[in-house]
Structure 1
Amino acid sequence: MKLFASLTSPYARKIRIVLAEKKLPFELVVDSPWEANTRIPTINPLGKVPVLITDAEEVFFDSPVIAGYLETLDAGPALLPADRLATVQVRQSEALADGITDAAVAALLESRRPDGQRSDAEIARQKEKIARGLAALEARLGGRPWLHGDALSLGDVAAGVALAYLDLRHPDIPWRAAHPALKRYAEHLFARPSFIDTTPPVG
């Protein structure tokens, strides 16, 4: 398998963590859709990473889709439960965490727009989404070590990536002080080798 990814993309990091947890071999192809010579639009019409190309040359893009595909390979540990309703519940947590990441990315991009084009109101709107998302995530966690069941799930991977992305791109958001349960939860996740080994470069 080949994974096309930017080292700073939180969505690509989510898939790299899933691959690491499952110990699935793959070739990492570093490519950013923001670079002039990027190959990403030729393999993903939406021009986004991550993109996974299987050994059979099938192409999957968008991190929830890639994560779902990897789950079909029967490589343990399972990050989605066998029960179909429980799977939907885990994927809801994944969607919540991905939504926090989406808002964080949108706020970052807006903040990088030139003077006169940047909207402080839009940045504030995205940060309000982040605040609501974090509150919902902490409520969903409920003080437990995992979002679902007694082991790491895809929801936990997405949540950990979202929290780490806030540290990387929005250090001004004091989510640890506001959400002590998420602080403890993040410390537990960030200590896993899969998170340590996929730490993005600063910059």
Structure 2
Amino acid sequence: MLLRFSATSPFVRKVRIAAAILGQTLEIEPADTLDPNDTLRRQNPLGKVPALLTDEGEVLFDSSVILAYLDFLAGSGRILPLDPKARIAALRKEALADGMMDAGILLLYEARFRPAEKHEPRWLDHQEGKRTRALAAFEADAAPFDGTIAVGDIALACALGWFDFRFEGKWRADHPRLVAWYEAFAAACPGFAESKPVA
């Protein structure tokens, strides 16, 4: 299987960690999402990473779809629980973490692609509000890491790691329970250190 990737994408990191947990080997090939000539746009019409080219010739995209596929290949129930209640809880956690990452990426893009005098404060406040509320929700629900790793845990850890990378870890000061969970997760999770984003 071939993973089209960016070394800084938290969504790509989700896939790399899941593969490490599940003992699956992925070839990786960088993709330039801004280059109209990159084959990524033919592989994924959205022109986004991650995109996974399966051994059957299919292209899967969106990290949550790829994680579900990798779990299926591993026999199901490894990172995506089979129990319906636990499965919904894991997917809900993944969705909130993914949304938090989306908001962070939109904040980053506003700074990267628009000059400061054209920044829209209302838009920035809207995205920051998503991040703030999601972090508060995760902090309220944070429990000590118990060794369980499901799709929602992977997504949350990738979001927090990306916030360390892109926003200087400013989330940490107000979220001590989440910091404790994250540090324990990072120490225990296969592939976590190796997939750390690099500029």
Task: Using structure 1 for the length normalisation, give the TM-score.
Answer: 0.90
- Equivalent residues of 2:71, 2:77 under 8 A apart: no
C-alpha distance in structure 1 between counterparts of 2:178 and 2:54, whole Å: 35
Corresponding pairs, count: 197
Superposition pairs of residues 98-137 of structure 1, within 5 angstroms = 98-112=98-112, 113-137=114-138
Identity across the alignment (%)? 39
1:194 to 191, 196, 199: 191
Checking the alignment, whether the CA contact within 8 Å between 1:111 and 1:123 is kept in structure 2 is no
Asked if structure 2 preserves the Cα contact closer than 8 Å seen for 1:51 and 1:60, the reply is: yes
Partner of 1:174: 170
Q: In structure 2, how many angstroms separate the alpha carbons of the residues matched to 1:20 and 1:77?
A: 16
Q: What SS does structure 2 have at the residue aligned with 1:3?
A: strand
Deviations 1:37-59 (A, max 9, x none): 42211100111110011111011
Partner amino acid, structure 1, of 2:43 = I
**Map 1:44-55 → 2, pairs under 5 A:** 44-55=44-55
Q: Distance in 1 between matches of 2:154 and 2:53?
A: 21
Structure 1 counterpart of 2:58, which letter? Answer: E
Distance of 1:36 and 1:170 partners within structure 2: 29
Indicate the SS of the match to 2:137.
Answer: helix
Equivalent residue, structure 1, for 2:26: 26
5 Å matches for 1:11-160?
11-35=11-35, 37-74=37-74, 78-112=78-112, 113-141=114-142, 143-146=143-146, 151-160=148-157
Unaligned runs of 5+ in 1: none
Cα drift, residue 121 of structure 1: 2.5
Tell me if structure 1 keeps the 8 A contact 2:50–2:61: yes
Post-superposition shift, 1:84? 1.8
Higher helix share: 2
* 1:144, distance to aligned residue in structure 2 (A): 2.9
SS at match of 1:196: coil
Letter in 2 for 1:131: T
State whether residues 164 and 170 of structure 2, in contact with CA within 8 Å, keep that contact through their aligned partners in structure 1: no
Please state whether the residue corresponding to 2:3 is helix, strand or coil: strand
Per-residue CA deviation, residues 21-79 of structure 1 (Å, 9 max, x unaligned), is 11101211111202354221110011111001111101111111111111111258801
| Residues 25/39 of structure 1: CA separation in 2 closer, same or farther (3 Å cut) | same
Give the alignment's Cα RMSD to 1 decimal.
1.7
The separation in 2 between residues aligned to 1:77 and 1:86, in whole angstroms, is 10
Q: Aligned to 1:109, what secondary structure does the other structure show?
A: helix
Going from structure 1 to structure 2, the CA distance change for 1:144 and 1:115 (only over 3 Å counts) comes to closer
More RCO (CA 8 Å, sep 6+)? 2
Q: How many angstroms apart in 2 are the aligned matches of 1:32 and 1:12?
A: 13
